[in-house]
Amino acid sequence: MSDQPSITVAELAGRLGGTVKGDGARLIREIATLERAGESGVSWVGSPDFLDQALCSEAGVLLVQDDSALPADRTVIVVSDPDAAICEALACLAPPVNKVEPGIHPTAVVSPDAVVTGAAIGAHAFVGTEATVGSGTQLFPGTYVGPRARIGADCKLWPNVVVRERVTIGDRVVIHPNATIGADGFGYLQRDGENRKIPQIGTVVIEDDVEIGANTAIDRARSGVTRIGRGTKIDNLVQIGHNVDVGEHCIIVSGSAMGGSSSLGHHSVMAGHAGISDHRKVGDYVQVAAKSTVMKDLKDGETVRGIPARDARRFLREQASLAKLPEWMQRLRGMEKRIEQLERMLKKED
């Protein structure tokens, strides 16, 4: 009845390349945390820190690296990397995948000179003149691919995604619903009390294996390109300004924003609602904490926090001091009075 597939412990172990100890015939239907998993559930012990929770867990089977601390009658699958194995287990238990039928849906509008061989073009999709959409790529219903845009192979553009003209997208890129790639950068020239639009004639390049969240906006460059490096993952509702350069394998969490012409190195992380101001250059392996805004250039490896963002330990020390400040204000008033008193006493003595 349910569309949730099931799998036996033994089959699952086979798929994960692991070794079963215990009841290989047990049927598994769901994946859950140690706390929530029940008899038909698989859970995992990512590190020895979770051992106590594992001992209490009612999960039907546990993925573990080492089962020596668990009771002998516990059903487990021993694997080398439980965190990676649970990801594979999720794939094993996934319901049927939502796919666009190969070919061009009769309601789609595809320019006769666009190249869409091997792609799946969904209902009400639009592909503009001289655009190319690679083989294995799926355009879900309502997507827009502008003139001369180039989408690589095996991409997924979920419903109502907009990719404007001349944008280039690599292979295996996933773009979630209602995201906008290649809108005009936000640039105006102030003259005579008015804002004159600066033409935004550049484009956007999204490299291979990037993922872009729902309702995220990545603006085209004024001239040249806005670039998102290979393997970078961008969450929902993120803003990437014109001429931004993001390196490879970054993580940019929901609500973050990068101002025009700013850059981020590789393997850097922006936590939720973080910001980088216009023109700032941020290095590799940098971590920007939630709701922090980077207002100066940052070197490789820095961890920053606050508005403006500063060294995270320094920020925490400042916050700890600030927490004590209201009480100290009282003490300071007292100290000042005691100094006055001492001064009076010494004056009297003179």
Determine whether 105 is exposed, middle or buried from the number of CB atoms within 10 Å of its CB (0-12, 13-18, 19+): middle
* Nearest in space to 117 (alpha carbons), one of 141, 135, 102: 135
For residue 67, the minimal CB distance to a second copy (Å) is 22
Report phi then psi at 326, rounded to 5.
-55, -40
Q: How far apart are CA 161 and CA 214, in angstroms?
A: 9
For residue 202, the minimal CB distance to a second copy (Å) is 9
* Nearest in space to 212 (alpha carbons), one of 245, 246, 252: 252
For residue 74, the minimal CB distance to a second copy (Å) is 21
- Pick the catalytic residue: 242, 249, 267, 273? 242
* Nearest in space to 232 (alpha carbons), one of 263, 202, 273, 268: 268
For residue 162, the minimal CB distance to a second copy (Å) is 4
* Nearest in space to 206 (alpha carbons), one of 236, 178, 176, 231: 231
Tokens of 28: 């598994």
Comparing CB distances to a second copy, the nearer of 55 and 329 is 329
Comparing CB distances to a second copy, the nearer of 19 and 80 is 80
For residue 80, the minimal CB distance to a second copy (Å) is 12
Annotated active-site residue 249? The verdict is no
Comparing CB distances to a second copy, the nearer of 21 and 203 is 203
Give strand pairing partners of 302: none
Determine whether 20 is exposed, middle or buried from the number of CB atoms within 10 Å of its CB (0-12, 13-18, 19+): buried
Comparing CB distances to a second copy, the nearer of 153 and 214 is 214
Give the residue carrying structure tokens 């005009």. 184
Comparing CB distances to a second copy, the nearer of 67 and 219 is 219
Give strand pairing partners of 251: 233, 269
* Nearest in space to 19 (alpha carbons), one of 105, 60, 72, 78: 78
Active site residues: 242
